[in-house]
Amino acid sequence: MAKKLYVGNLSYNTDEHSIREVFSQYGEVVSVNVVTDRMTGRPRGFGFVEFDSEEAAQAAASALNGYDLDGRQLRVDEAKERSNDRNRY
C-alpha cells in the first residue's frame, strides 16, 4: 500500500530530482511533487514524496526528519488527507 510523506522547509532551489535521490535510499519512490505557487510558478518550500510501502515511508521519515538538504533542515511527516472544505475563513 502506497504511503505519502509531507516534506517541508525545502530550499527554493531544491528540485524533484534531488528529493527523489535522497528519499530513494529508503525504498521505492512512486512520485515526488514539489508544490509551486499558481501565480508565479515558483516553489512554495514544501512537497510530497510517495513510497510504494508504508515501511519504506516510515524509515525515510525517521531518517530524514532534520536532514540537511541544500542548506535547509527538512521537516518530514506523514501527509494528512486534504480537506474538501474550500469555504474556510
Q: What is the pLDDT of residue 11?
A: 96
Cell numbers that stand for 71 in this block: 542548506
State how far the Cα of 20 lies from the Cα of 72, in Å rounded to an integer: 16
Do the domain assignments include residue 88?
A: no
Q: What is the pLDDT at residue 38? A: 94
In a domain, 72, yes or no: yes
Q: What's the pLDDT band for 89 if we cut at 50, 70, 90?
A: very low
Reported as a single tens digit per residue, the pLDDT across 40-74 is 999 999 999 999 999 999 999 999 999 999 999 99
Mean pLDDT of 20-28: 98
Q: What is the mean pLDDT of the chain?
A: 93
Give the residue among 88, 87, 60, 89 at the shortest CA–CA distance from 76: 60
Where does residue 56 fall: left (phi above 0), alpha (psi -120 to 50 degrees), or beta otherwise?
alpha
Q: Is the pLDDT of residue 84 over 80?
A: no
pLDDT of residue 81: 79
The confidence score (pLDDT) of residue 87 equals 56
Quote the domain boundaries for residue 17. 3-78
The domain total for the chain is: 1
Report helix angle 54-64 to 16-23, nearest 10. Answer: 100
Domain of 60, CATH number, reads 3.30.70.330
Q: Is the pLDDT of residue 32 over 90?
A: yes
